[in-house]
Structures are given as structure tokens and as C-alpha cells.
Amino acid sequence: MRRYFLLFMIILAGIYTNAQEGSVEVIADERIDLLIDKHRYLNRHQSTLEGWRIQIFFDSGANSKRRATEAQKRFSDRYAATKAYLSFKEPYYRVRVGDFRSRLEAEGFLNNIRNDYPNAFTVSDMIDPPPLETKR
């Protein structure tokens, strides 16, 4: 008798659970939707991302801008496939090269240019996203 009663209760609970229908209404501030839209817009139009570059030159003082420009040109002539960037952060002019997504990539390229730039080192920087490779 207990078995039948227990079986009846389980069936009744199953029917009751399946018979429930409901809906959920989310009430939120309209500014949340504006923030989400702004986040989406910024992600689509973000021109830089965190990555790595190799610093091959830095100098301050008289004629440092000219020397930095020469270093940038010399690098671009030797390694045309890799972009070189000249920047100024007081009091130094710097030349950094490459747009590497990982430190491992940057270290690999650093090993390739080590003979030409023995004092070069990797630095974390905001980079231009490299173009995505499409497989055909």
C-alpha cells in the first residue's frame, strides 16, 4: 500500500511540475541598454589592443629626434615587412617595432634581429591588430 501511495505522489508531483507555465519580465534602467550599445560600438571601432613590441632605440638630448628617425628608417630599410613606430615620451624618443600578439612571437622576432640590435628588448605596448589570416 505504501508503494502505491508513494508512486501516486511521484506521478502527481510530476504532473503538477509540468503543468506550470510562467514568464519572466526584466525591469531595468534604460541606461543599461545605452551602456551595452556603447560597449558594442567601442569594441567594433577599437583601433588598438594589448600586445608586444621590440624597442630598438631610445635616446634623449640634442639631436635625439634625428637619431631616432634615422634608426626608424634604417630598420624599415632592412625589415620592410615589419612596421617601425617612433614615439616621444618625455624626455626620450623611442623606436619600437612590430605588432606581436604574444611575448613569444616578439621574442622570436627579437632573436632574428639580435645581431643588428644587440640592446633591443621586448616591451608590452598597445599594438595595431595584425590582419587576420584567411584560410582558403
Distance between CA atoms of 57 and 39, rounded to whole angstroms? 36
* Structure confidence at residue 111 (pLDDT): 96
* Structure confidence at residue 10 (pLDDT): 78
pTM more than 0.75: no
* Structure confidence at residue 86 (pLDDT): 96
The domain spans of the chain are 50-127
For residue 113, give the nearest of 85, 88, 86, 76 by alpha carbon. 76
State the burial class of residue 53 (Cβ atoms within 10 Å of its Cβ: 0-12, 13-18, 19+): buried
Phi first, then psi: give them for residue 115, nearest 5 degrees: -65, -40
* Structure confidence at residue 6 (pLDDT): 77
Q: What is the DSSP letter of 128?
A: P
Other Cβ atoms less than 10 A from the Cβ of 56: the count is 23
Which residues have a Cβ under 8 Å from the Cβ of 66 and sit 6 or more positions away?
none
Domain 50-127 falls under CATH 3.40.50.2300: no
Across the 136 residues of the chain, what is the mean pLDDT of every consecutive 10-residue run?
76 64 81 86 78 95 94 96 94 95 95 95 89 62
Residue pair 66/93 in contact (Cβ under 8 Å)? The answer is no
- What b/e readout covers 83-107, taking b as 16+ CB neighbours within 10 angstroms? bbbeeeeeeebbbbbbbbeeeebbe
Nine-digit cell at 81? 615587412
